[in-house]
């Protein structure tokens, strides 16, 4: 078995002539990310298409495998077609760091880190993540679900002094929190002509740097690093839930920056009160302004797709964009990924994109959304829409604010399902089929002249047919 000189080096960390794959990663990820994660790797071998890399600890190994391994393999495949697998092993660490995975739990109190370290104290790099140049305010699509969070982010970015400290953004994955944080960072840097020090990183990276500062007995460097910034941006703060030592250090860092009137921006998947954090930490996070990003609406999703298509110069049938905006509602990342996948297929295969072809291309993505439409589901959606209980629709109540939604639900049940009139009547409190027919007929007549009802039914159909 021959070893490829491009990949193999005796000790990549000390080799002055870095192999080409290192240059690839450094160029793609930027120097700060490369220095924090990939410069620590040692190339062991490249045999039969398998590149074996050694990480200095299980923590680094697990982090790279979780966040970067697929992307690294994709990058290498483009330049070296024969590279088809990457294996990372953990070695070169003492038993303490390996057995404990460098976990935060290993340091439940600041005075409990190992009194003796087999590695001599040394300098270790502390840096944030590189900002994505594409994530700016200019290409953030504003809609009702995110307009408040966007306005708050704009205000923070445009003020010379700290306001709403901290600005706490929360919402589901893929709804724009990270985009807004990158946008704030870009705007502040540009306004200050890059004189302000803005640090953006995840809560997981904060924990990792804290643990390393304990391991290398260089806690003061860690404290100075994080408390000397003008703007601190922490993503996914829910990661430090249950990690008491990291919470303690973050608490002190938070207070030190607030005392200096330095701006803090934080994101999470839940509001501060719903996070599994210590009470005083929850209190600190609620000090400033808490802004949530709601699930996207159809209109917002369509706007995002149109903007993305225009930015990437993708020509696509508006009906396809409408289909994607209707069908994919979980998060924006998945929506944009579907657009890119469809566009790439059309470009590479050379076929005209049609709705049936798009459905075939995205069948694995669309499968989770293909919930069978039933009378019960229609009742649930209609009751939510009109702010009623399902039991109201099934009751004998004859109040107008209940009768009309009940008839709408019957109408939609007939139009959107294969259920028979007797079955629909049974679902609505045991009514007979003539009552159902009357309700359906009433709605059909009203739809010809009642614009408000037309809008209600159209919106409900769009929601149910997604």
Tell which residue, 63, 62, 78, 61, has the closest CA to residue 25.
78
Whole-structure pTM over 0.75, yes or no? no
Backbone φ and ψ for 202, nearest 5 degrees, come out as: -90, 160
pLDDT value of residue 95: 26
Sorted by where each begins, the domain ranges of the chain are 20-90, 137-292, 298-369, 375-465
CB 331 within 8 A of CB 175: yes
Whole-angstrom distance, CA of residue 52 vs CA of residue 71: 16
- Domain 20-90 matching CATH 3.30.300.180: the answer reads yes
Query: Interior CA angle at 342 toward 362 and 303, to 5°?
Result: 100
Gap between the terminal Cα atoms of the chain: 54
**H or E element in which residue 168 lies:** strand 167-170
**pLDDT tens digit sequence for 104-144:** 444 333 333 333 333 333 344 456 778 888 899 999 999 88
- Residue 206, preceding peptide bond in cis (omega within 30° of 0): no
- 118 marked as binding residue: no
Q: Which residues of the chain have pLDDT under 70?
A: 1-19, 32, 91-127, 367-372, 465-466
Q: Name the residue with tokens 């990310």.
A: 33
Tell which residue, 294, 269, 265, has the closest CA to residue 146.
294
298-369 CATH fold: Helicase, Ruva Protein; domain 3 (1.10.8)
pLDDT value of residue 189: 92
Supply 277's token pair: 């954090």
CATH: 3.40.190.10, 3.90.1300.10, 3.30.70.3270, 3.40.50.300. Which one for 137-292? 3.40.50.300
- Domain 375-465 matching CATH 3.40.50.300: the answer reads no
- Residue 166, preceding peptide bond in cis (omega within 30° of 0): yes
Whole-angstrom distance, CA of residue 46 vs CA of residue 270: 44
- Starting from the edge strand earliest in sequence, which strands make up the sheet with 50-55, in order? 42-47, 50-55, 85-90
CB 45 within 8 A of CB 8: yes
Query: For the chain, how many residues are written?
Result: 466
CB 369 within 8 A of CB 329: yes
Cα 318 to chain centroid, rounded? 26
pLDDT value of residue 180: 96
CB 29 within 8 A of CB 39: no
- 174 marked as binding residue: yes
pLDDT value of residue 285: 93
Whole-angstrom distance, CA of residue 79 vs CA of residue 24: 9
pLDDT value of residue 367: 67
- 242 marked as binding residue: no
pLDDT value of residue 61: 81
- 282 marked as binding residue: no
C-beta neighbour count of 443 within 10 angstroms: 21
């Amino acid at each position: 078995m021959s070893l490829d000189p491009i990949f193999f080096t005796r000790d990549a960390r000390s080799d002055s002539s870095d192999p080409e794959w290192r240059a690839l990663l450094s160029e793609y990820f930027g120097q700060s990310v490369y220095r924090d994660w990939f410069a620590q790797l040692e190339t062991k071998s490249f045999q039969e298409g398998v590149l074996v890399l050694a990480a200095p600890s299980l923590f680094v190994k697990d982090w790279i495998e979780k966040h970067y391994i697929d992307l690294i393999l994709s990058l290498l495949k483009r330049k070296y077609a024969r590279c088809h697998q990457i294996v990372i092993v953990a070695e070169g660490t003492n038993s303490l760091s390996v057995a404990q995975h460098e976990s935060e739990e290993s340091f439940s109190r600041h005075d409990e880190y190992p009194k003796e370290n087999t590695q001599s104290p040394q300098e270790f790099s502390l840096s944030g993540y590189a900002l994505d140049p594409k994530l700016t305010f200019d290409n953030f699509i504003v809609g009702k679900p995110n307009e408040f969070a966007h306005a708050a982010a704009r205000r923070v970015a445009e003020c010379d002094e700290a306001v709403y400290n901290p600005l706490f953004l929360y919402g589901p994955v893929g709804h724009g929190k990270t985009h807004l944080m990158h946008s704030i960072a870009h705007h502040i840097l540009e306004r200050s002509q890059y004189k302000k020090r803005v640090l953006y990183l995840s809560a997981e990276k904060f924990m990792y740097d804290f643990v390393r500062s304990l391991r290398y007995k260089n806690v003061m460097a860690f404290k100075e690093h994080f408390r000397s910034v003008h703007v601190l941006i922490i993503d996914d703060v829910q990661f430090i839930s249950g990690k008491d030592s990291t919470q303690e250090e973050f608490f002190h860092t938070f207070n030190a920056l607030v005392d200096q009137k330095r701006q803090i921006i934080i994101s999470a998947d839940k509001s501060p009160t719903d996070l599994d954090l210590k009470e005083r930490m929850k209190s600190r996070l609620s000090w400033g302004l808490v802004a949530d990003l709601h699930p996207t609406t159809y209109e917002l999703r369509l706007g995002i797709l149109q903007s993305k298509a225009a930015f990437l110069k993708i020509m696509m049938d508006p009906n396809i964009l409408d289909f994607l905006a209707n069908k994919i509602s979980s998060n924006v990342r998945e929506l944009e990924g579907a657009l890119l996948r469809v566009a790439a297929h059309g470009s590479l295969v050379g076929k005209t994109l049609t709705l049936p072809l798009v459905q075939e291309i995205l069948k694995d993505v669309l499968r989770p959304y293909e919930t069978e439409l039933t009378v019960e589901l229609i009742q649930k959606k209609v009751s939510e829409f009109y702010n009623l209980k399902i039991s109201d629709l099934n009751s004998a109540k004859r109040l107008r604010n209940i009768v009309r939604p009940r008839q709408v639900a019957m109408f939609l049940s007939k139009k959107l399902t294969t259920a028979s009139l007797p079955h629909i009547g049974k679902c609505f409190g045991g009514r007979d089929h003539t009552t159902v027919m009357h309700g359906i007929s009433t709605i059909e007549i009203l739809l010809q002249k009642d614009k408000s009802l037309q809008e209600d039914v159209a919106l409900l159909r769009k929601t149910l047919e997604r």
